Structure 1
Amino acid sequence: MQTRTPPALQILPRRPDLALPDPLPRHWHSNDPFKTHFFNAMSVLFPDGERYFIDSVRLFRDQISDTDLQQQIRGFIGQEGHHSREHLEYNQRLRELGYDIDALESTVKKRIRFVQKNFSAERQLAGTVAMEHFTAIMADLLLREPQWIDGAVRPMQSLWRWHALEETEHKAVAFDVYMQVCGDRRILRRAMRQATFFFLKDVTRGMWHMLRKDGKLTDLPMMWRGMRWLWGRNGFFRKLVGVYRDYYRRDFHPWQHDNRDLLDQYAPAFASALVR
């Protein structure tokens, strides 16, 4: 299996003209509140989360002498910056639908401020490595099995596939930086346990808020179908268990999950959006 970042890999930011619906349909994914708010709740986390990822990598940028990795860092920062801006617009659409996005974001902002004040630079970067693995394996599933986003309105399909494509491209950047400047896998494993807890907590909190606002928490058949879609035998999260656990291996590298075939498949659709 591939055990290091492919040497010819290019990480190039894109700025697609997504033209998000305005107003955003309240249940834009298959007219299903549960599916819609699962993705919405993740979007709430991205603007502040991705700025944190950029900041944590920048803490070590000057210590990297590898020219290929330096170029990949530039691509990583550019891609994450565009993601943050696009999700700010997305989240504003959610505000306009009446959801308390400020309250949901406040929890994330406070946690990030605490981490940046109290954690070492190495632990901050380890947190980014952990969350980049999360986003990478979810991105792989969205691209490999299109049914998870099929049924969404077209601009939202494009947004999530563009995001997934770029998360796949840069999935090893933070990891490679960390291994050059620190390399302690015990810190990485601890960071993943913490990241898993807070990611699931924050996504669940966001979903519950939006479902409650819609008056859907008491729609038991809809909630049952949604929980099966997410956690059932062939559910979204259940499909991620194996690749999630690979992170804890002693020899783990993100490109052991070599999915360059998906880059070849999806990149042409966004070729016109490349920022040179």
Structure 2
Amino acid sequence: MSSPPTTAPTHNSDSPTRFWNQTAARTHLFDAFSVMLPEGEAFVMDAVTEAAQHLPPAAELRLECARFVKEEEAHQRAHRLYNARLEQQGHGVAAMEARIAHDLGSIKTRLSADQRLCLAAAFEHVTATISAVALRSERVLTATPNAQTRLWRWHCAEEMAHLGVTVELMAARDLSYGARVGWFLVASAVMLGDVLRHMRTFYRHDVATGRLSPSRFWASSLASAVQALPDLWSAGLGWASYLLPRRWSMAKAASAPITVRELRPADIPALMALEHACWTAEQAAQASDLLDRMRRHPGHCLGAFCPRTGKALASLFMKPTSIHAMSQARTWRDCVEGNPAGTTAGPGNALFGISLSSIDPAAVKAIFGYFWPHALKGGWRHIFLGSPIPGLANWLQRHPQGNAQAYVRQQRRGLPLDPQLRYYHGKGFRHIEAVLPDYFPHAGSLDHGVLLRGQVPGARWAPLWRRVSLRHIQSMQRWLSSLP
């Protein structure tokens, strides 16, 4: 992270009509953005910090979020100084900032964490789009060296560099395209309205103080707009790029493909590093546990690895089971080690997910994509997994008369209230089989677990898949994604 310029920004005082960005309109444009930034940066930092709390402690994206917040804090400090100087010049910036703080405060109380993340990502995209144009064209941001241009070039460069953080966070939260685009349009309209309102205030002040002639302002503004038509077109394309389907996953798509394969004993060191990155010492599996799972359940232990470093990004351990056996289980150990005493499993067409560990959401998708054709070919119809409910402890503090059964049924906008259940709901695990106390040690869940069941997509066509080769099923995978 580069250091911000330390010189306090001032307007050029050589002439009462001279502006630091050559024309009044261009100067007012950047000053208007600066008014929004301190409170806007605070909103974005809060949204990113909250979203990052749902990532594994050692996830690279979580570290990137921490760097992002530090950079935004530096931007915030620099623009507070910038705006304080504008206030000293009589522009009434303090009142504008107070209105923005009030509006954003209202938004925070009314929107969910995911909606606030969508807004934050939209703000970042608009800012980065303008930054790209400003750094590329002197028709937008003058090349004349002064305190303001040094500040803005530093800020614009960092905005472009860390744009991918909010994009990756939305991908990690598996947010829908409709929600992202809807809040992007809202954010764009709000930002445009605020910028125009601030520019009008600056214009009126400069006219009232004799610093600006209305006729000269409009003449120079029109001339600048005509000259900047290529830049306006470029900015429009950059803005519209957000509307492209799957825009948020471009950063992932540009990375090297993730390698998915069956696990083998030689993977134990990499898997143990993954275990300790995802779980506490009490929760993490031992090397002997991992070896035992590979031995007992060959073909059902999968790993996703970075093709460049060999680092384990995700692991999935499963075992064959039956619906009857799952109905008798009371703890995670029951599910893993076999049937509870006095019960019999009988034949089954189900799998139980012993553990799913990940530091990369794309790696989880890669594992599921790899295993899907194998599940169809093997005749597996159901997949069970046990989920913690990390929001339970906090919810019970606010609802002391409630219980775990009531909590897991809580919904917000048709989705589970608990963040982990909401994540698995998006992965297709939407049927709650049981809520089990003392399921697995997890402080936020008060050791409770929820046994979830999902159906393998396309499994109802099992007789067909038995007659089709695995290679052909894999080749039809994209078409199969449309099957119920």
Please, what TM-score do these two structures have when normalized by structure 2? 0.47
Q: Are 2:51 and 1:60 equivalent residues in the alignment?
A: yes
Match of 1:136 in 2: 128
Match of 1:18 in 2: 6
Compare 171-180 and 228-237 and name the one that shifted more: 228-237
Match of 1:36 in 2: 27
CA displacement 1:14-58 (0-9 Å, x = unmatched): 323431245765754244221111110000000000010000011
Please report how far the alpha carbon of residue 217 of structure 1 lies from its aligned counterpart in structure 2 after TM superposition.
Answer: 7.5
Please report how far the alpha carbon of residue 107 of structure 1 lies from its aligned counterpart in structure 2 after TM superposition.
Answer: 2.2
Match of 1:47 in 2: 38
- The percentage of counterpart residues that share the same residue type is 23
Match of 2:239 in 1: 244
Q: Alpha carbons of 1:62 and 1:163: their partners in 2 closer, same or farther (altered >3 Å)?
A: same
- Local SS of the residue matching 1:148: coil
Asked whether the 8 Å contact 1:143–1:164 carries over to 2, the reply is yes
Distance in 2, Cα, partners of 1:233 & 1:89: 29
Distance in 2, Cα, partners of 1:137 & 1:227: 22
Match of 1:70 in 2: 62
Distance in 2, Cα, partners of 1:47 & 1:231: 31
**Structure 2 regions of 5+ residues with no counterpart?**
252-484
Please report how far the alpha carbon of residue 106 of structure 1 lies from its aligned counterpart in structure 2 after TM superposition.
Answer: 2.2
Match of 2:353 in 1: none
Distance in 2, Cα, partners of 1:35 & 1:166: 21
Please report how far the alpha carbon of residue 179 of structure 1 lies from its aligned counterpart in structure 2 after TM superposition.
Answer: 1.4
**Structure 1 regions of 5+ residues with no counterpart?**
1-12, 257-276
Match of 1:116 in 2: 108
Distance in 1, Cα, partners of 2:199 & 2:238: 24
Asked whether the 8 Å contact 1:24–1:94 carries over to 2, the reply is no
Query: Which of 64, 87, 95 pairs up with 2:87?
Result: 95
2:160 is matched by which residue type in structure 1? T
2:28 is matched by which residue type in structure 1? H
Distance in 2, Cα, partners of 1:97 & 1:56: 33
Q: Alpha carbons of 1:109 and 1:237: their partners in 2 closer, same or farther (altered >3 Å)?
A: farther
Distance in 1, Cα, partners of 2:242 & 2:65: 21
- Local SS of the residue matching 1:18: coil
Q: Alpha carbons of 1:199 and 1:236: their partners in 2 closer, same or farther (altered >3 Å)?
A: farther
State the structure with more CA Rg: 2
Q: Alpha carbons of 1:24 and 1:233: their partners in 2 closer, same or farther (altered >3 Å)?
A: closer
Distance in 1, Cα, partners of 2:47 & 2:172: 14
CA displacement 1:161-188 (0-9 Å, x = unmatched): 1001100110011121111113211111
Please report how far the alpha carbon of residue 227 of structure 1 lies from its aligned counterpart in structure 2 after TM superposition.
Answer: 4.5
- Local SS of the residue matching 1:149: coil
Distance in 2, Cα, partners of 1:250 & 1:60: 22
Distance in 2, Cα, partners of 1:245 & 1:103: 32
Asked whether the 8 Å contact 1:171–1:254 carries over to 2, the reply is no
Match of 2:328 in 1: none
Compare 233-242 and 97-106 and name the one that shifted more: 233-242
Compare 242-251 and 61-70 and name the one that shifted more: 61-70
Q: Are 2:119 and 1:127 equivalent residues in the alignment?
A: yes
Match of 2:468 in 1: none
Asked whether the 8 Å contact 1:21–1:155 carries over to 2, the reply is yes
Distance in 2, Cα, partners of 1:138 & 1:16: 19
Coordinate RMSD, CA, aligned: 2.3
Distance in 1, Cα, partners of 2:245 & 2:11: 48
Distance in 1, Cα, partners of 2:99 & 2:112: 21
Q: Alpha carbons of 1:205 and 1:68: their partners in 2 closer, same or farther (altered >3 Å)?
A: same
Compare 245-254 and 168-177 and name the one that shifted more: 245-254
CA displacement 1:140-179 (0-9 Å, x = unmatched): 1122224422255522111111001100110011121111
1:164 is matched by which residue type in structure 2? C
- Local SS of the residue matching 1:247: helix
1:176 is matched by which residue type in structure 2? E
Q: Alpha carbons of 1:24 and 1:187: their partners in 2 closer, same or farther (altered >3 Å)?
A: farther
Compare 104-113 and 236-245 and name the one that shifted more: 236-245
Distance in 2, Cα, partners of 1:29 & 1:22: 8
Compare 129-138 and 15-24 and name the one that shifted more: 15-24
Match of 1:234 in 2: 229
1:63 is matched by which residue type in structure 2? H
Distance in 2, Cα, partners of 1:227 & 1:104: 27
Q: Alpha carbons of 1:245 and 1:232: their partners in 2 closer, same or farther (altered >3 Å)?
A: farther
Compare 141-150 and 185-194 and name the one that shifted more: 141-150
Distance in 2, Cα, partners of 1:137 & 1:87: 19
Please report how far the alpha carbon of residue 218 of structure 1 lies from its aligned counterpart in structure 2 after TM superposition.
Answer: 6.1
Tell me which protein shows more strand as a share of its residues.
2
Distance in 1, Cα, partners of 2:123 & 2:67: 18
Q: Are 2:170 and 1:182 equivalent residues in the alignment?
A: no
Distance in 2, Cα, partners of 1:190 & 1:159: 32
CA displacement 1:88-119 (0-9 Å, x = unmatched): 00000001100111221122112111110000
1:156 is matched by which residue type in structure 2? Q
Distance in 2, Cα, partners of 1:255 & 1:109: 33
